[in-house]
A and B are shown apart, each in its own frame.
Chain A
Amino acid sequence: MKNNRRGRRPKGHPVRDRRSDDSNASAGSSLLIRVRFCVLFFALIVVFSSLTSSRWAGSVLHDRLTVLIARLSASILGLFGDAWVSGHHLTFNGFPASVEGACDGVQPTYVYLAAVLAFPCRWRDKGWGILVGVPAIFLINFIRVTTMMLFGAYWPNLFEWTHLYGWQALVIILTMGVWIFWAELFVRPRDQATS
């Protein structure tokens, strides 16, 4: 039973191309995989975007997540100085900031989820991707918020730059880093084993 499952190849996976001797057909299939991935990726982004921008998501997801991030950051920042938290408002050594809905890491998380779910691989691998990736992105965002509070308190001139420019680019780069970690460590070895 276990072997059967391991041996089963996912639908539309590149490995299927080996069955054909015709390289043109392989390349066509390769293009099809990419097109399928892009379409599915976009569709998932639209779905996640609609779900997370609803009022329900605002009260259930964003509000709770921002409060959680603010509390966790305050507990870490307390090691370095005087940290105080009220709801999603955070003060560290006199520097006040509020963790807003756009800072809760939900957007990079659903980009990651869409990339994992759209990628042509087995559902078990996708499950691993979600289990490993979502906490990792939450951690990245948590580090982002905490370091920005440190910047705000110790180097206030750099706060705006790190907030608007530095961390924005870094978050998506790190998110893609998590994704490639998952693809190379979970998907590729299994793919090579099955082929």
Chain B
Amino acid sequence: MVWLPLQGPFIWLLAAAAEKALPLVERPPILAALTTRGNSIQLYSHLTGAAQPLTKLDCTNLHLSVVASLALALSVAAKRWSARARVCGLALLLVFFVMLAVCIVQLQWAAESHASARLGITLYTTREKEFLDWAIRKSSFAMVYLAPALLFLASYLSVWSAAEPAEAGRSGKHGARKPGSMSPSGTRWRNVFVALAGCAGAGLLLLATRAEADGSAYVEGLKKVVTLNPASPRAHYRLALDLEKEGRLDEALDSYRTTLRLKPDFVEARFGEGNIHFSKGDYAQAARCYGEVLERQPGNAEARFNLGATFLNRGDFELAARAYETVLRADPDHASAHEGLGEALLRLNRRCEALPHLVRSTELDQRLAMDTTLRANISILRTHCGRRE
């Protein structure tokens, strides 16, 4: 009952520590972030993008092991409350680190299971999977049997062995001590042990914080996944996305091309290839890619919008205006399409037609409303078109 309200914070703390410790364990990293919801931990990986969780791990079984460990450790009759509190603190510390180990291997296993079942790709090498399988069995054993047993036995032995000196002390010159209490020397050793354990925990967290992975590390993780799954278009595509995000455009283009070689109808990869060409200023190739996307998905607003931007940059203002108009027919509140159309019309010298689109874009998007060049253009156009503020 006491543990029930503590379940949520415990899982949150466990997930936070696991997130810090994962870069130490996973090299290169594949799991990017963890969040908690109730008793479950959600795993995020660059394999499914930043916003969508890869899978989730139910941690309900951890709580019973915590409760069993604490109950067994506290069941030994230490008479002093300070001794009980110390046992409780040590038990929690030990249990937390055991749970952390269990949590990390279970998270990796859950990611591997989900990726192989749902995405058709493997995340770890055969040796790593064998190790994970072994680690899961051993860490589960440590969680279910070893930690509770060790805590109980250590507590029991502590009281057992302390009772004898206490009895001896009653007849001696030092006087009686309560069972469970210790001499100054024993207390000093115990304090040293607690301090060392605390330092080890703090050190691990500090080390984990310093070992936090950056974007390029995740690219290396995805490269490993690609090496393990050379025939998987999804793996190549995810690598391409991360390479593009990291600004490594040539490598990203290669990965998109590999994806399309493996799966020619992979529309998202074609769209990504178009984006790379656009970023590199190769507008002809970009227009070709967006065109191919629109052949397969005529209603793809993003591709249509990007095609408009490509035409605009290439100087085909008429085509750009048509592309933006198509986007706006499907989504009349597309702020950037209004802005693009306004700019295309301006270049076509249709200034007064451009004005309402430019105004509408600032109304729809605060970021555009703050654009001083755009505001200046609107002001000039209003004067030109005979409308004063």
Contacts and interface: CB of A to CB of B under 8 A. Distances in A.
Judge: A and B partners, yes or no: yes
Interface of A: 14-15, 17-18, 21, 23-24, 26-28, 30-31, 33-34, 37-38, 41, 45, 49, 53, 102, 107-108, 111, 115, 119, 164-166, 168-169, 171-173, 175-176, 179-180, 183, 195
Interface stretch (B64-72, B213-221, B295-303): B64-72
Given A30-B182, A31-B189, 5 more contacts: A18-B168, A49-B138, A165-B64, A172-B145, A172-B148
Given A111-B146, A173-B72, A30 B153 contact: no
A30 B149 contact: no
B164 A17 contact: yes
B160 interface: yes
Contact of A17 (B153, B165, B184): B165
18 contacts: A14-B160, A14-B163, A14-B164, A14-B165, A23-B177, A24-B185, A27-B185, A28-B189, A30-B162, A31-B189, A53-B137, A165-B60, A165-B64, A168-B61, A172-B144, A172-B149, A173-B68, A176-B72
B164 A15 contact: yes
A23 B174 contact: yes
Main secondary structure of the interface of B (DSSP, over half): helix
Interface of B: 60-61, 64-65, 67-68, 71-72, 137-138, 141, 144-146, 148-150, 152-154, 156-158, 160-165, 168-169, 172-174, 177, 182-186, 189-190
B183 A38 contact: no
A31 B186 contact: yes
Contacts of B190: 31
A54 to B, nearest CB: 13
Nearest to B62: A165
A92 B340 CA distance: 71
A26 B165 contact: yes
Given A107-B141, A168-B64, A38 B161 contact: no
A45 B172 CA distance: 39
Contacts of A183: 156, 160
Looking at B169, B186, B190, the one whose CB has the most chain A CB atoms below 10 A away is B186
A33 B161 contact: yes
A27 B150 contact: no
Looking at B71, B148, B168, the one whose CB has the most chain A CB atoms below 10 A away is B168
Contacts of B158: 30, 34
B154 A34 contact: yes
B153 A37 contact: yes
Given A21-B172, A172-B144, A30 B161 contact: yes
A23 B183 contact: yes
A173 B162 CA distance: 24
Looking at B161, B172, B183, the one whose CB has the most chain A CB atoms below 10 A away is B161
B187 to A, nearest CB: 8
A169 B168 contact: no
A14 B161 contact: yes
Contacts of A30: 158, 161-162, 164-165, 182, 186
A165 B72 contact: no
Given A27-B182, A30-B186, A168 B144 contact: yes
Looking at B72, B149, B182, the one whose CB has the most chain A CB atoms below 10 A away is B149
A171 B72 CA distance: 12
A115 B189 contact: no
A115 B153 contact: yes
B105 to A, nearest CB: 16
B194 to A, nearest CB: 13
A41 B149 CA distance: 10
A171 B149 CA distance: 11
A108 B145 contact: yes
A172 B68 contact: yes
